[in-house]
Amino acid sequence: MEEILGFFVARSYSARSTSAQYARVFARLCDFLEFRGARSLLDATQKDLSAYRVYRTQTAAQPISQYAFRVEATALRQFYSWAVESGRLRQSPVKKFSKVGRDNLSTNRIRHSKVRHVDGYLYDKWLEEAGCRSAGASVRSARERNIAAFKTLVSTGLRIQELASLLTLDIDNGQLLKHAMVVEMESITKYEINRNAIIPNYALTAIRKYRKLERPNVVLRHQRSLAGQLDGCFMVEYFDPGTRRVWGLWRGRRRQYLLHQVPVEMRLKAVIVSADRIVEPLCLFLSDSRGLGMTRSGWEGVFTATSEQLLRRYPADRQVRKVTPHDLRHTFAINYLRAAHQARAKAQGQSTFGDGPPLRDPLIDLQELLGHATSAQTLRYLRYVEDIDIAVAAAAPDSAVDANDDRAAAK
């Protein structure tokens, strides 16, 4: 148990959902090793890990797919790599078989990563459902919030945790451009990588409408409960717009942070108490039932409820399906690449640089916008920039489909 806790302390930057998933993997392996006579994870041998892989994918009462086992393999590789680096093990029980990375935890099953793009038709249906007065209570009670969130996700590519952790201070002190606003992020991003979110006017207009029409009523309605929760809140005492530094009280101690470095937990519970004792939550998107920031699970519940309502409303429409927050991130990536490549193609005839290298590469820009650690994660979206069904139809013998004409019409 001690070594597992040490691993999680070293990986304190990981998302809670990832840590919980890894903890379940370690617990399963501990049970398996105990059955084989090993005392802890550090006592596992190469044969133990190979046997565990076979057990999980073949011989267990409810085996998992070889592809699904890749998550467990990743957790175990990271644990044993950390154990060697920290001096707890001299040699890892993960045995490499080749230079390309195959080892005794590798499986043979490979599949393409799923990129679920939300087309214009489905997106319009979604916005319509989010703003529908006859929708379910969980959606209807926060229509402007949900619409603003959907528009922000689909036009920025933010992860759901990043959206949930935005503060009103981020929006009020962002760098204004002609068509968008730049918000610096760090503590709320995956692996805490510093990057900028560019929020276009399309989303900002919806955010301003939510803050004007709906958010004040949520704050007013929850004043009594908010006042009773102040001991567990991050009470912001001062913010300096010049230095972008925040001062406040958190769990009995005074803290100060640069705005983009305020931890996620403190952001979700950040408040300002005015001179007349009005408690103002600082999280941008508030829970209608609690008055504090929406959590990741809260947003997932909103998406599930909206999907279910939409499927009930259009049961025979095959274009209507469940939509997740990450689907909107994929949608932004594909739409961005399509728009960027169209803009580049249009500008090539007007460029004064001739055949010289472009000043900006859409893939590099997209990698920065999405916060991808490697370009390989971003390259997969190139497969979806053009509709492959048009190219396949045009390749058929005696086809009447002209790929160029159809692509032009689609754009």
CA atoms in the 13 A half-sphere facing the CB of 7: 24
Let me know how many helices (H) and strands (E) the chain has, helices first: 19, 8
Whole-model pTM?
0.75
Q: Number of folded domains in the chain?
A: 3
> If you ran DSSP here, which 8-state letter would residue 283 be given?
B
**Residue 92 placed within a domain:** no
**Residue 233 placed within a domain:** yes
The phi and psi torsions of 245 (rounded to 5 degrees) equal -110, 140
My answer on whether 155 and 303 are in the same domain is yes
My answer on whether 212 and 350 are in the same domain is no
pLDDT tens digits for range 87-115: 889 999 988 877 656 788 887 665 556 78
pLDDT tens digits for range 154-180: 999 999 999 999 999 999 999 999 999
What is the pLDDT averaged over residues 34-45?
89
Angstrom distances, CA of residue 198 to CA of 120, 203, 369: 21, 10, 8
The answer to whether residue 249 scores a pLDDT higher than 80 is yes
Q: Residue 173: what pLDDT?
A: 97
**Residue 36 placed within a domain:** yes
- What is the extent of the structural domain holding 80? 2-85
My answer on whether 392 and 288 are in the same domain is no
My answer on whether 11 and 58 are in the same domain is yes
Q: Residue 321: what pLDDT?
A: 94
Q: Residue 374: what pLDDT?
A: 84
